[in-house]
A and B are shown apart, each in its own frame.
Chain A
Amino acid sequence: MRKSPTVLTHNHDTEPWVRFSLLLRRLSPILAVICLLLLWAWISERELISHILVPPPGDVYRAFVGALADGVLAKHAFVTLQEMLYGLLLGVGIGLAVGYAIAKLPLLEYILAPIIVGFQSTPIVAYAPLLVIWFGSGPASKVVTTAVIVFFPTLVNTIVGIRGVSPKLRDLMRSLKAGRWRTFRHLEAPSALPVILAGLKTSTTLAVIGAVVGEFVSQGSGLGYLVTAARNLYDTPLVIVAVLTMTTISLCLYGLVALVEWRFLVWQRRSNI
């Protein structure tokens, strides 16, 4: 079925104003960010709020270049990133394993539910000091804090994902005499993957919270430490630089998971047409 050229000229999508409004729509999130930056520049320009509280963008930029040049930013960012990655590995790993076990054994859920929900309902900031007492003031306590905070979304999504496996497809695997491993490999894992990746996205954004909370509690290094140190010196631009670096790290990890999603869930994209 080919469209004739006469039909194409009447296609509304090609009219200039339609194209313009589509472009505007695409760019609107970027425009929103620009507007926010302009508002910031305007506030500090007119000194509506003291520069100590809200430094002008130029000062923040200079603080950024300075911290980059003397290697302070890279050093602390690397520490935080490392804590996040190890924490993610640990928390997601345990979350997947426990989640799978719970999905398979409802009795286990009954037994563990109060402990898990209790942990989740307690603010991480409240028991982070405890983790420092147990795991020392080095990176280990931050890794554990991160692991604890990313554990829960992974756990919940793994349970939901594995329980959501179609019982009819389970019947199919049974009729094909697929053993436990093959059922996992060919049915449970691919079926639960979309939900688990969604949980992983949440986990990556939480990971930075875990690492930074740990760094707030026990000083030494990392972006959380940089924030505290800069604040004590009233170096607000450096505080902002450290915070934005956390945002960037978190967004990059999120993007990485989104990329994995895009690569492995081709069938979902093709299914949504």
Chain B
Amino acid sequence: MDTRFFVTWMEEITAAVRAARDHLTRLDAAIGDADHGTNLDRGFSAVAEALAARPPATPGGALVLAGSTLIRKVGGASGPLYGTAFREAGKTLGETPEVSTAELAAALEAGLAGVRRLGGAEEGDKTMVDALAPAVRALARAVHEGGTAGEALDAAAAAAEDGAKATIPLQARKGRASYLGPRSIGHEDPGAASTALILDALRTVGSR
């Protein structure tokens, strides 16, 4: 996976977020402040512009630029969280021009650690961590089992999707939704849903 792959991943996310904007905002309207789709659309549109204006030289550079842009442009809590995830992942990749599936797994693991450190969420709190953590585990497992890159990205995307759906019966313990207490039960967490979208975009780019 080269720089082009990672730039294409970001472009794929931008398109997917745009298509799902209203869906994400509806999920957020149920248990949050109804801005998740709009915020991410603004953030990833800015990422696409930044990548076009300042083409990165490495995969790590692409992720760091995407992360820094999200932190500055999203405006909601998902900005610092996704921004930190991409920045930490990018920093982990360093200057390498070609990323193996194992290196990608390690990078996403660093991204997850960054999200946990910043937001303090654990699995089961009904946040993006509920989709990202299983995806990172699935990716690491697939690498360990020696599957193809396509199989590994497929497993990660499926795990994120399952993790997002599994937030529906949970009561939120972090973020704006936690103010609702038991009334947060019965709704999919918008952050987990957008994380599943991001991993699905990775699968799409990997399958081409």
- A and B form one complex: no
